[in-house]
Amino acid sequence: MIIVWILLAVVVIGAIYVIITYNGLVSLRNKIENAWAQIDVQLKRRYDLIPNLVETVKGYASHERETLEAVIVARNVALTASGPHDQAEAENMITGALKSVFALAEAYPDLKANTNFLNLQEELSGTEGRIAYARQYYNDSVYRYNTKIQSFPANTIASRFRFVEREYFEAEGESRAPVAVDFGTAPQVDLDRGAVPAEPPATPPSTPPTPPTA
């Protein structure tokens, strides 16, 4: 009889552990989804501000076509990016292109003093800061989740219920280098009519997520 009670206790404890672990994994996964939703909100705000910035700069430096086209091309790439890895690389393209646009203000005093330009610069800078904060929160959430599903014995439950590793929202390798845009293969852009949407990039083969570097 004692053995029966012991076995029953083991079963109950095991069931409780499975329930607690499963619910914990669901909670971690939901935190990742919520964190990504917050990033998406800020990214969309950034994309909405860029056309206004291009129009403002074009009024003072319309002949700086290559610099303005680089921003539109980078925005097109970001709009069609799929997954955290591709999105992070696209955001690095935008950041590099925007730095070039803001650098133009040094050569055009009237542009530098334009109220609309200054407001857009401030809004974009603030948005970029919020993206950086949201990205850090997202990556922290991914780290906790991935660590949990890789750790024993939680990994056995994660595997059973198909909890899979998630990607970090971090640029890697060449995406940290200065941005180079090839206008020979880039989407066509008419600065007077706006950007022509880029073709969606081919879906890259899935690769294991890489922890964020220090």
Structure tokens at 153: 């014995």
**How far apart (Å, rounded) are the C-alpha atoms in residues 23 and 15?**
12
Q: CA-to-CA distance for 177 and 172, rounded, in angstroms? A: 9
- Is residue 19 domain-resident? yes
pTM of the model: 0.72
In a domain? residue 6: yes
Decide if 168 contacts 142 (C-beta within 8 A).
yes
Rounded to whole angstroms, the Cα distance separating 126 from 67 reads 22
Mean pLDDT for 205-214 is: 46
Domain that holds residue 56: 2-182
What 3-state DSSP class applies to 179? coil
Q: 194 lies in a domain? A: no
Residue 90 lies in a domain: yes
pLDDT in tens, 71-107: 999 999 999 988 888 898 899 899 999 998 898 888 8
> Does residue 70 belong to any structural domain of this protein?
yes
Distance of CA 95 to the CA centre of its chain: 12
Place 208 in a pLDDT band, splitting at 50, 70 and 90.
Answer: very low
Q: What total of structural domains would you count in the chain?
A: 1
Residue 211 domain-assigned (yes or no): no
Let me know if residue 10 belongs to a domain: yes
* CATH code, domain with 49: 1.20.1440.20
Report, in angstroms and rounded to the nearest whole number, the Rg of the chain calculated over CA atoms. 23
**Residue 50 within a domain:** yes
Task: Provide the 8-state DSSP code for 184.
Answer: T
Q: Which residue has the tokens 């910035």?
A: 53
Are 121 and 50 within 8 A, CB to CB? no
Tell me: the pLDDT tens digits for 6-38?
888 888 888 999 999 999 999 999 999 999 999
